[in-house]
Amino acid sequence: MLQKIESVKEAVINRTVLSPAELEQFRNEYLSKKGILNQLFEDFKAVPAEEKKSVGIALNELKTLLHEKFEALKLQFSQEQELSNKTDLTRPASPFNWGGRHPINVVRKEIIDIFSRLGYVVADGPEIEDDWHVFSALNFPEEHPARDMQDTFFINHRPDIILRTHTSSIQVRVMETMKPPIRVICPGRVFRNEAISARAHCIFHQIEGLYIDKNVSFADLKQNLLVFARELFGEKTQIRLRPSYFPFTEPSAEMDVSCSICGGKGCNVCKYTGWLEILGCGMVDPNVFKSVGIDPVIYSGFAFGMGIERIVMLKYQIKDLRHFFENDLRFLEQFQSQF
């Protein structure tokens, strides 16, 4: 019996275990219920009484050896597995893709930066507005088509609570709370009840500007817009102002810029006219001043407004307005370099 135990002990000492799978095989062979150690303890029952002491000591030593070797190997493989799961900080960094700003945000910031250099400050206001700030204070007659359900989103069927259709409502709030001189730009999201297509959407973004002071003239308006256009589209850009109509300005005008694609010679982008329409503008109507408590005899001013999507489409030659709202990575990845 002692010779058999010594033989097993020697085999255990010389046993090489190189993997967790081999360790499991080692356990099954020696430490399981049908393993060699359990079998030796069964044989121990038949050992003569005078030999039990020496055989028992040898058997317990073998048991201790087996368990110590098993636990040591188990700890070793566990630590190796843990190390393999950790990140190796000495390895080169894995490449990853940079994100990018949305093209609307890129152009929005560029426009704000231009007007900020001209002395304008940014003003903000709520998207859910009342009829007064969106229409009535801006000289919209009761029968004006913009008040119709086809253009305006009304909240809970209430005619006086609406989603703002333009950021001019911010201008009204500024005029109600500030005294002239006032020079602000009002960027924001606006909503109109329109069918979604390649050239129209129910949600879009605007930037509007307002300047009020003594002796402000239409020439001041034209000069501000000329500087803006040349900063945005290039120093060779020309502008033209065409007579138009807006309830809150008089006189009113639409502003065109010379096509930066063809240099004013005519192409499919400008429909071979050499000009691109980008914004509306005009001198603030005296009725608007009266509605917000500003004396139109003392003060005058001008206002202008543009759709940011329209500027982006012209600047980057994007033909479908829906791209701005679909979060298609194939579209957005084109602007990764715009920071």
Q: Look up the CATH number of the domain holding residue 183.
A: 3.30.930.10
**81: containing domain:** 2-85
Residue 111 and residue 6 share a domain: no
pLDDT at res. 339: 46
pTM for the structure as a whole: 0.68
Residue 53 and residue 173 share a domain: no
For residue 52, being part of any structural domain is answered with yes
* Cα distance between residue 233 and residue 289, in whole Å: 33
* Cα distance between residue 18 and residue 77, in whole Å: 9
Judged against a pLDDT cut of 70, whether residue 149 lies above it is answered with: no
For residue 224, being part of any structural domain is answered with yes
Longest dimension (CA), the chain: 128
Q: What is the pLDDT of residues 29-65, one digit of tens each?
A: 888 888 887 888 887 777 788 887 887 888 788 888 8
For residue 18, being part of any structural domain is answered with yes
- Calculate what percentage of the chain has a pLDDT beyond 90: 40
Residue 77 and residue 111 share a domain: no
- Cα 279 to chain centroid, rounded: 27
Residue 110 and residue 74 share a domain: no
**Taking the alpha carbons of 282, 284, 285, 291 in that order, is the dihedral positive or negative?**
positive
